Amino acid sequence: MGIIEKIKEIEAEMARTQKNKATVTDMRLGTGMIFMNLILIPQFSANSLIQSNTELKAKIAKLRTQLLEPPKGTGGAGEGFEVTKFGHGRVALIGFPSVGKSTLLTMLTGTHSEAASYEFTTLTCIPGIIHYNDTKIQLLDLPGIIEGASEGKGRGRQVIAVSKSSDLVLMVLDASKSEGHRQILTRELEAVGLRLNKSPPQIYFKKKKSGGISFNSTLPLTHVDEKLCYQILHEYKIHNAEVLFREDATVDDLIDVIEGNRKYMKCVYVYNKIDVVGIDDVDRLARQPNSIVISCNLKLNLDRLLARMWEEMGLVRIYTKPQGQQPDFDEPVGRGGCNVEDFCNHIHRSLVKEVKYVLVWGTSARHLPQHCGLSHALEDEDVVQIVKKKMSTSDDTPTSSVPKNKSFTITVQETKIPTPAADFLTLFQSNSAAPL
């Protein structure tokens, strides 16, 4: 039995478990039959059903991780999907076939991507560059995702692998079919470890060599208890670990932390083709969280989409200033929330060791210029000049190599030298006293 068949079998078992749980709940709510039901069907107790469901979730998570691993002896992303990361950020276009991804790429970047009314026009990853606010943003047009992409259908595995390397996901949706498509795409991305518009769970997890399992929490938990935590860890063959809950997390959150391969990304839902739906539907879609409405056909609201991408990626422009020269406003450097150390690492990793101090002009400086260290936080449109340490040259002779207040004569007198060597020293001193 393959991995996909095992996943489907476990999902069917989970569905039966949920049905049995609902049936038992209804029976226990009946009048006059509570005690009899507890005796006749103890195997359907709510606690045992929850424990069984938890173990099945852990098994599915392990199987999905195995499914995403590329087969041995094969390449990574696949032919046509190996795109070098370029620019200050990367944005991936994800959506069903024929929703306007290729048209959107052409309008924003000028890169030609084959567009047609039939599905699966784009079969490989097509990159383009957006020039916005003096920065370069790489936009990737990926083939359309179909239902079952998490199982490898329609090159879904390659598409999702490229999406994980992006800084932002634009989920392009057809305004007339938005709800169904959005749920399917979210489910497919969740199945492969992509968590859209979510923060990592506040759960501390660390494996240990011995000592058993230590379970603690800083607040009351309503979804997970110590017994469920033990069962999940046992499914992963983990018998020594430290677990600390800092929030009221769920079983799925705990599994994500144990897996350790989840990617938490920002996502903007782009509803295209709003020119074919009514104004009431457009207003409803525009009010949804993390959403924006556009029309590639009418070139409507594309400028707002660019501004939203810039905002979600948190990009900032930081300009360099060579010593004694004007600032370079053509090639800004930096990402949102960076400090001087991040700025130096972006230029070259070895630059941090050579920095003595930096001079900063801009909104982050208290006065112009301000002497700052590596921990200084930079803001948009700051100008930075790096002052390096003075490195000693190899020709310089260390002054500490010769002890002070001591001469060679004293050293020679303290050392017992044979007669030929002493005669040679006397001859050398007499010759050195003569003028050259």
4-10: Cβ within 8 A, 24+ apart: 4/67, 4/151, 4/152, 6/63, 7/60, 7/63, 7/64, 7/67, 7/151, 10/56, 10/59, 10/60, 10/63
Which residue would you say has higher pLDDT here, 164 or 241?
241
Q: How far is CA 361 from CA 205, 358, 367, 399, in A?
A: 42, 10, 8, 40
pLDDT digit string, tens, across residues 243-300 = 999 999 999 999 999 998 899 999 999 999 999 999 999 999 999 999 999 999 999 9
**180 and 155 belong to one structural domain:** yes
**227 and 250 belong to one structural domain:** yes
**332 and 298 belong to one structural domain:** no
81 in a structural domain: no
Q: Is the pLDDT of residue 142 over 50?
A: yes
84 in a structural domain: no
State the Cα angle at 262 between 257 and 265, rounded to 5°: 125
What is the model's pLDDT at position 40? 42
**178 and 281 belong to one structural domain:** yes
193 in a structural domain: no
Q: Which domain holds residue 227?
A: 203-259
| pLDDT band with cut points at 50, 70 and 90 for residue 179 | confident
**102 and 166 belong to one structural domain:** yes
**327 and 370 belong to one structural domain:** yes
What is the model's pLDDT at position 217? 95
**169 and 267 belong to one structural domain:** yes
Q: Does residue 239 contact residue 260 with C-beta atoms inside 8 Å?
A: no
Q: How far is CA 261 from CA 69, 219, 289, in A?
A: 12, 26, 26
What is the model's pLDDT at position 300? 94
395 in a structural domain: no
Which of 368, 388, 408 is the last residue in one of the domains?
A: 388
**297 and 325 belong to one structural domain:** no
**253 and 284 belong to one structural domain:** no
What is the model's pLDDT at position 410? 35
167 in a structural domain: yes
What is the model's pLDDT at position 231? 92
What is the model's pLDDT at position 80? 46
SS3 of residue 98 by DSSP: coil
- Is the model's pTM score more than 0.75? no
| pLDDT band with cut points at 50, 70 and 90 for residue 84 | confident
Structural domain count of the chain: 4
- CA quadruple 91, 92, 96, 99: dihedral sign: positive
**209 and 225 belong to one structural domain:** yes
Mean pLDDT comparison of 114-123, 201-210, 391-400, highest-scoring range: 201-210
278 in a structural domain: yes
The two structure tokens encoding residue 295: 């029309």
What is the model's pLDDT at position 308? 95
The two structure tokens encoding residue 282: 């457009």
**232 and 105 belong to one structural domain:** no
pLDDT digit string, tens, across residues 299-346 = 999 999 999 999 999 888 899 999 889 998 888 877 777 889 988 888
Candidate from 49-53, 316-320, 372-376, 407-411 with smallest mean pLDDT: 407-411
1 in a structural domain: yes
What is the domain-level CATH number for residue 301?
3.40.50.300
What is the model's pLDDT at position 65? 64
**302 and 179 belong to one structural domain:** yes
The two structure tokens encoding residue 217: 């929490």
What is the domain-level CATH number for residue 353?
3.10.20.30
Residue 46: partners with Cβ closer than 8 Å, 6 or more residues away = 21, 24, 25
For the chain, give the number of residues: 436
35 in a structural domain: no
What is the model's pLDDT at position 229? 94
What is the model's pLDDT at position 114? 54
What is the model's pLDDT at position 332? 86
Cis peptide before 201 (omega within 30 of 0): no
Residue 366: partners with Cβ closer than 8 Å, 6 or more residues away = none
Candidate from 172-186, 255-269, 332-346, 405-419 with smallest mean pLDDT: 405-419
| pLDDT band with cut points at 50, 70 and 90 for residue 92 | very high
Candidate from 18-22, 137-141, 169-173, 217-221 with smallest mean pLDDT: 18-22
Candidate from 1-15, 69-83, 379-393 with smallest mean pLDDT: 69-83
Q: Is the pLDDT of residue 414 over 60?
A: no
H/E stretch holding 174 reads strand 168-174
